[in-house]
Amino acid sequence: MTTSSSIRPILAILVLVVPGMASVPSSQAQETDQAQKTGKSFVEDFSSLDKRRWYVSDGWNNGDHQNCTWAADQVKIADGTLSLSYARRQAKDRQHVCGEIQTYARFSYGTYEARIKAVAGSGFNSSFFTYIGPTHKQPWDEIDFEFLGKDPSTVQLNSYVNGKGGNEKLVPVPGNANAAFNDYAFVWEKDSLRYYVNGKLVHTVTDPAALPSHAQKIYLSLWASDNLASWLGKFSDPTEPVSAQFTRVAFTALGDPCQFPESVACTLK
């Protein structure tokens, strides 16, 4: 997760403001053998939710910045589409519920891809990101695609290395991120990080200080905030439930064949 510079000091104190940081509560933070292993190449078409691959976040939130509680019933699959929803319902100390899934396994260098239709609305964040951190007894590394609902014409890119971010970049999304499905990808290598939108290279990072090095878990999420207005915009409570939708997620390890014909990995040399 990324923040504006004006609120960064506050979030540094909170620490748990990272989307992935609190995604496994302490009672469930035990790492299985599967989670410890480096994940292999895969393509997920969401014909069903593979419970061997995906963990559904349920019953907690990531900190005071998040105004909803993760709830398993906000994660649904129908007709090859994963929907992560946000709705008004009391859950613990929050008045809303929201959806997130995360992989059990950790993944290293390679091509990460997702086909996404994001949510529009001030105060909302639809996310496709990778993360590892203190919750997993590792340094905080992260790579982000974050869709700020206040402006669906762009997507925000960022990376964190050992808890240090500040690498934000906004890039345009043709036709708006909420209007149709678009393809998002990043190619993570030891000496570079390249971001793609609909197969087009939109940003390259080569600064070693901005290049994560630890294997990370993959996260898909939708959440909102009513106290991060300087970054996400003033929260606007929707009158009906809203959903971020995903029709594909894939990982191709470096050196492996691409996992589907339209993959960015098919074009890499």
Count the domains in the chain: 1
Domain range for 69: 8-24+35-267
Catalytic site positions? 142, 146
Q: Is residue 1 part of a domain?
A: no
Residue 231 in domain: yes
Kindly state whether residue 129 falls inside one of the protein's structural domains: yes
Categorize the per-residue pLDDT at 34 as very low, low, confident or very high, splitting at 50, 70 and 90. Answer: low
Query: Does 93 map to a domain?
Result: yes
Domain for residue 67, yes or no?
yes
* pLDDT band at residue 269 using 50, 70 and 90 as cut-offs: confident
Residue 2 domain-assigned (yes or no): no
Supply φ then ψ for residue 65, to 5 degrees. Answer: -70, -25
Residue 179 lies in a domain: yes
Question: What is the model's pTM?
Answer: 0.89
* Residue 205 · residue 159 · CB < 8 Å: yes
Domain CATH code at residue 257: 2.60.120.200
Distance of CA 63 to the CA centre of its chain: 16
Predicted confidence band at 55 (pLDDT cuts at 50, 70, 90)?
Answer: very high
pLDDT of residue 1: 57
pLDDT-based confidence at 2, cuts 50/70/90?
A: very low
Section 123-127 average pLDDT: 99
Give me the pLDDT at residue 172, please: 99
